Structure 1
Amino acid sequence: MFRFFSVLALTACLSAATSTANDHQPDKVTLLNDYDYIVVGSGAGGGPLAARLAIAGSSVLLLEAGADEGENVDVSTPAFYSAASEDSSLSWNFYVRHYKDNAQEARNSKATGSELLGIWYPRTGTLGGCTMHNALITVYPHEEDWTNIQKLTGDASWAPEKMRKYFERLEDNHYLSRDGPESAGHGFDGWLGTQVINRVLTAQDPKILAILTAADATLANHASPPITNARELEELYPVDVNTDVPHRDSTNGIYRPPMSTTDSKRSSPRDFLVATANAVNKDGSKKYKLDIRLHAFATKVKFQHQYGEPPRAMGVDFLDGQSLYRADSRSNTTGPGRAGSVNARREVIIAGGTFNTPQILKLSGIGPKNELLAHGIPVVVDLPGVGQNLQDHYEISTVVQFDDNFDLVENCTFLTPNTKDKCFEQYTSGHTELEKGFYATNLIQATILRKSKVAGNERDTFHFGGPGNFRGYFHGYTASIVEDAKHFFWATLKAHEKNNAGSVLLKSSDPLDVPQINIAYFESGTTTDNAVYLDMEPLVEGIQFSRRIYGNISSKPANEFVEVYPGANVSTVGELETFVRDEAWGHHATGTARIGADNDPNAVLDSRLRVRGVTGLRVVDASVFPEIPGFFPVVSVYMVSEKAADMIIQDNECF
């Protein structure tokens, strides 16, 4: 197994610890040896970056608050991703507010707590971060996402034609030919495996084929011949969704969604990290200087102050211990943790994610001055943009219940206790993707990318559908999704939201407290320039579009169903708007430490991801984006991580 430090190993324990802004500094502090780089967080941003820096020859310490759950069956099995998000061994429970008004918030069926906590927001604390529980959807962003950063900063290295190489570097494509017509813009030697659902598997279920036939007819706005076999199903998909072709971002189409899997198991930065940390030379010695410290919760960045110079990030303080953070459901059973500290010879990189990165920055004295002072935190740099600009994709689903089971799912119990799960037996005994069956998939049978009535030049709506009763995220949603084999959902995700009024605020100066998160939905958020209508309309239209798909199913028994969410009683535009306002959710939070222009007082980072006002400190995660990229931002974060590695190596060539 890869090398990681225990609390006692390779350390020196010194007394009289330096006081901090919190009370979690015991009498002795574990001091580690210095590293070139310290990376905080092992997810989509920090994981690939740490590996790349180590491969380039630097010594790297990766601090991860959680354990390694890579072999956990909930994590490794593609179809179990929802179970992974609720697995207490890795789940972190954040509760976000959509509205400040309690009455409006309580209208959401997913609202939690007798004293309203908000809406449960799935995150994980584990090696690999949230890439260990996501739905594996791997979709390249819009070119315009990179163009916007290029224009905002004047940095040509963010141009879309220069960013594509990072996707080619990281992808290990398993479903296209290297020399085939769809290979443009793809990679075949990277660390992230990609596969698509086997069309022969999909073709085994006539009801799903009838739904996809109806989807094709609805998108094309004319009758389509029935799809009855795998060959006809292949003709449904025009081109791979990630292939670099002209007009890709503006063309409506139906696609098989690529999944981040290798050999029908989850593929993630965790695999890249473990392979790098475990790599050895011919003599058996450790090949790369990458150390991974699990159960190490970063509490603050340390700064060196020298007269006339900006503060320099010199290291990180952390706590050793399991389940310390209060987002972990097991946190009340653990002690306070053992304090540690480590210095960086070159840089510290924060990759804690959209919620934790602004929390760490603020606890370190970087953030809005008044907020820091209110919590007794000494101000290192007054950066008002830290924790602001929180954005999220809006999502909503339309669920129907059929009279009969879906053939693909009827033998699947998703490891429900005291049941025989024939699907899991097939998955574990099969040798090929087809032989492994439904559990080798992420449930999603097809995606539809299209432009809504209010879209600009690019597609702004992502529909994804599959068997299951999916209505968003709440405690117990996994059991709801797989409660039977009769439900099917089409979910609508709206991209390029106009709303950026959310925030992440400190609850206290205690690093183990979970911050206060308000995404500020619809009228409670950005209201200028018709923002509410431009965000609401594609979701209402998405429900209507989904209903037309269901209505276009012509053959029995595939057309024998009843809509259960939102239900036939929600029919007028006004009723649909109310339903969306009450029930919409998201899980792609970004933007709380955003890149910006030099003259922007709310910009947290420059174009090289350096934190403004200090030296030796960068941020590399989903918080860096000025606007949410694409439909599923994880690929964009991977690309930024790869780009960050290049920039950091280049900027430190003098060492």
Structure 2
Amino acid sequence: MRFRLLSALAASAAVSVVNGQASETYDYIVVGSGPGGGPLAANLAKAGYKTLLIEAGGDEGDNPTYYDMMTFNEAANDEATRWDFWVKHSDDPARELKFKYTTYDTGDGTFYVGNNPPPEAKHLGIQYPRAAVLGGCAMHNGAVCSLPQDEDWNLIVNLTGDTSWEAHKMRQYYQRIERNEYLATGNSAHGYNGWLKTAAGDTSWAKNDNLTGTKILKELAKLTGQDPAKAAELVGSDILGDYPNRDQISSFYNMVQHSGKDGKRSSPNNYIRATLADAAKYPLTLKLHTFVTKVLFTNSTGMGAAPPRAIGVEVVEGTSVYRADPKHIRGAKAPPSKQIFASKEVIIAGGAFNSPQILKVSGIGPRAELEKFGIPVVKDLPGVGERLADNYEGSILALGNAPVDLPGLITLIFRTPNAATKNRNIFTWCGAFSFEGFWPGFPNNYGPNQFTCAMVHIGPKSQAGSVRLTSADPLDTPDINFNFFKNSGDADLAEFVSAANILRDSWKAAGAPATPFKELHPCPGELGKTANCTDAAQAEFFKLQAYSHHASSTCAIGADDDKMAVLDSKFRVRGVNGLRVVDASSFPVVPGAFPVLPTMMLSEKATDDILADAKKA
């Protein structure tokens, strides 16, 4: 059952008159309430600044589909909040049609998913669902918490010279936001008073040597250089702990989620609502069902002595106005626009797809692309919408002869022998589930005997993707092409195959009654007896069937002499004043295996940078 809370939560704002019409003015306007924008807006309000937070969706914070972690797949499928981006993985149309779950519009209000569509069906592409809801994608994800490799933070230091990004300094932001509920208080690596709850599962099952899952666990320990005798202890390791040489350690861990020990999701939604609840103390205004169509500038031609300055945003109000929304009514007239002003700054936090789109329709982006659609150029920034990156993801999936007796998950971060560096390069979790990517109605349920090891490739070498306009209309969705494996693809695929081989070998230890396994992919047939399970065949499978949901880097921080850099180290958009981008698009590279926690840390750092600049003004 679905519930919808569409209440307008708002505090008072200053009102001025512009061109004969009443308009609102705030100190800061934050566009997007996800892991980047939501906490930032709350922090600015708590610092005493009159802050407006704009969210295109509604509030599902009281909906059990969203707050109960057991129903996160249902949340990601829910039309109440879902935005469908239909993306490409390459420039090759024939290759795109080979993705097993490519999706078509049948014309009768339904989707066809697969490789044999009805004759008149329109090809849409590969579904990449995003969440238009208070709290953003942190409201429909699996809530997996993982920290980036230290080098992901230190890269920003190397690019910009800003030592505030050093990895050991960035950890303070994680500690600041965390409200740890799985470790005893006093662990210096963690925080216990923040707004984000973290919880971990029970791993006591690993002490039972008779379980099928424990047999797989111990064999996997051997294959990854761990002590099988200590496997039961290792699965309880703190995945967010602060260890020497952490990024080089292949180890089992206890998976941590941004949820409470009661199984309820913890997200920016909770923090925003808690801040709004004390309106007398914290001047935060929230506008729901409000879509930003462009940023407003003074000196918008950029021809004056001073750089253009962001002074506000233009918005339309209403539900399902954006054409990524499956509830959008084709041909519907857009609501009238209105303008809202910021006396200090505008901060864009729409995510890796929408942040570059907002900049571009506002006149900030590659000159040729803007001029193609008749958009006046405010600032020529070639990097906006480029360098789109993502973790490659894939899985090996099989059916046991009987259910695999594994009451939890085997969570492992490890290095394959062919990794490009000494750092571990694969994050995997194995259990009695299936996960093969995204399509309308995902995932498949293969029954009680299903068993999967899902994999996330850490540190992908190619960042060749792009987010480009299809028109000047801000309500149109952009063209998104990840260009998977375009650069150094053979090396990334080889690492993926190496990981699959290691995981598959561990399954052989399961024993009766679970064995023999019947593998469904990437090597269909009885486990260990398929003649076509070559490295080349597996590489081809992963090339065609890899998926992703950790998009980043389309408005990346970079060096002063890099023409593709969009932001400086303080999140400021280059060449204009009063405008920042604070979300996953800001990262120069994908931050580790899961970006949600790093993006919340990013938001906390941006808070410090913005408040420091405010004190100087």
Equivalent position SS for 2:338: strand
1:80 maps to amino acid: T
**2:126 aligned with 1:119:** yes
Conserved? CA contact 1:3–1:278, under 8 Å = no
- Give the counterpart of 2:520 among 561, 564, 570: 564
1:201 Cα offset (Å):
6.5
Equivalent position SS for 2:247: helix
**2:495 aligned with 1:538:** yes
- 1:20-35 to structure 2, matched below 5 A, reads 31-35=22-26
Count of residue pairs brought into register by the alignment: 585
Partner of 1:229: none
1:536 Cα offset (Å):
1.2
Equivalent position SS for 1:325: coil
Q: Residues 60 and 6 (structure 1 numbering): CA distance in 2 closer, same or farther, change over 3 Å?
A: closer
Partner of 1:468: 433
Query: What's the TM-score once normalised by structure 1's chain length?
Result: 0.85
Per mean C-alpha deviation after superposition, the further-off stretch among 642-651 and 237-246 is: 237-246
**2:323 aligned with 1:326:** yes
Conserved? CA contact 1:252–1:451, under 8 Å = no
- Give the counterpart of 1:388 among 373, 382, 386: 386
1:3 Cα offset (Å):
8.2
Q: Residues 202 and 279 (structure 1 numbering): CA distance in 2 closer, same or farther, change over 3 Å?
A: farther
Equivalent position SS for 1:220: coil
Partner of 1:211: 216
**2:454 aligned with 1:454:** no
Equivalent position SS for 1:79: helix
- 1:414-493 to structure 2, matched below 5 A, reads 444-478=409-443, 480=444, 482-493=445-456
Mark the runs of 5 or more structure 1 residues left unpaired by the alignment.
18-28, 226-231, 281-285, 409-437
Query: What's the TM-score once normalised by structure 2's chain length?
Result: 0.90
1:275 Cα offset (Å):
0.5
CA distance in structure 2 between the partners assigned to 1:626 and 1:350 by the alignment: 17
Partner of 2:89: 98
1:301 maps to amino acid: V
2:163 maps to amino acid: A
CA distance in structure 1 between the partners assigned to 2:69 and 2:609 by the alignment: 33
- Give the counterpart of 2:505 among 525, 538, 548: 548
1:375-413 deviations in whole A, cap 9, x for unaligned? Answer: 1111000001000000111111001112334567xxxxx
Q: Residues 303 and 452 (structure 1 numbering): CA distance in 2 closer, same or farther, change over 3 Å?
A: farther
CA distance in structure 1 between the partners assigned to 2:237 and 2:64 by the alignment: 32
1:596 Cα offset (Å):
0.8
Q: Residues 571 and 560 (structure 1 numbering): CA distance in 2 closer, same or farther, change over 3 Å?
A: closer
Conserved? CA contact 1:184–1:245, under 8 Å = no
1:151 Cα offset (Å):
0.6
Conserved? CA contact 1:304–1:313, under 8 Å = yes
- Give the counterpart of 1:88 among 62, 75, 79: 79
1:85 Cα offset (Å):
0.8
Conserved? CA contact 1:99–1:520, under 8 Å = yes
1:244-297 deviations in whole A, cap 9, x for unaligned? Answer: 1101110100111111111211111111111011125xxxxx220001100000
Conserved? CA contact 1:321–1:337, under 8 Å = yes
Partner of 1:186: 190
Partner of 1:173: 180
Partner of 2:396: 398
Partner of 1:283: none
Conserved? CA contact 2:59–2:134, under 8 Å = yes
Conserved? CA contact 1:82–1:133, under 8 Å = yes
1:130-176 deviations in whole A, cap 9, x for unaligned? Answer: 11111111011111111110010011111112111001101111111
CA distance in structure 2 between the partners assigned to 1:15 and 1:36 by the alignment: 17
CA distance in structure 1 between the partners assigned to 2:69 and 2:360 by the alignment: 36
1:577 Cα offset (Å):
1.2
CA distance in structure 2 between the partners assigned to 1:108 and 1:373 by the alignment: 34
Partner of 2:579: 617
2:520 maps to amino acid: V
- Give the counterpart of 1:494 among 442, 446, 457: 457
1:32-80 deviations in whole A, cap 9, x for unaligned? Answer: 4210000000001001100110111101000000011122222111122
Mark the runs of 5 or more structure 2 residues left unpaired by the alignment.
105-120
CA distance in structure 1 between the partners assigned to 2:350 and 2:38 by the alignment: 11
CA distance in structure 2 between the partners assigned to 1:383 and 1:498 by the alignment: 24
CA distance in structure 1 between the partners assigned to 2:414 and 2:68 by the alignment: 26
Conserved? CA contact 1:594–1:604, under 8 Å = yes
Give the CA RMSD over aligned residues: 2.5
CA distance in structure 2 between the partners assigned to 1:512 and 1:630 by the alignment: 32
Partner of 1:132: 139
**2:317 aligned with 1:361:** no
Partner of 2:480: 517
Q: Residues 112 and 13 (structure 1 numbering): CA distance in 2 closer, same or farther, change over 3 Å?
A: farther
CA distance in structure 1 between the partners assigned to 2:275 and 2:10 by the alignment: 19
Partner of 1:72: 63
Percentage of matched positions with identical amino acids: 41
2:607 maps to amino acid: A
- 1:269-418 to structure 2, matched below 5 A, reads 269-279=268-278, 286-305=280-299, 307-332=304-329, 336-405=334-403
CA distance in structure 1 between the partners assigned to 2:294 and 2:587 by the alignment: 22
Q: Residues 11 and 289 (structure 1 numbering): CA distance in 2 closer, same or farther, change over 3 Å?
A: closer
Q: Residues 15 and 193 (structure 1 numbering): CA distance in 2 closer, same or farther, change over 3 Å?
A: closer
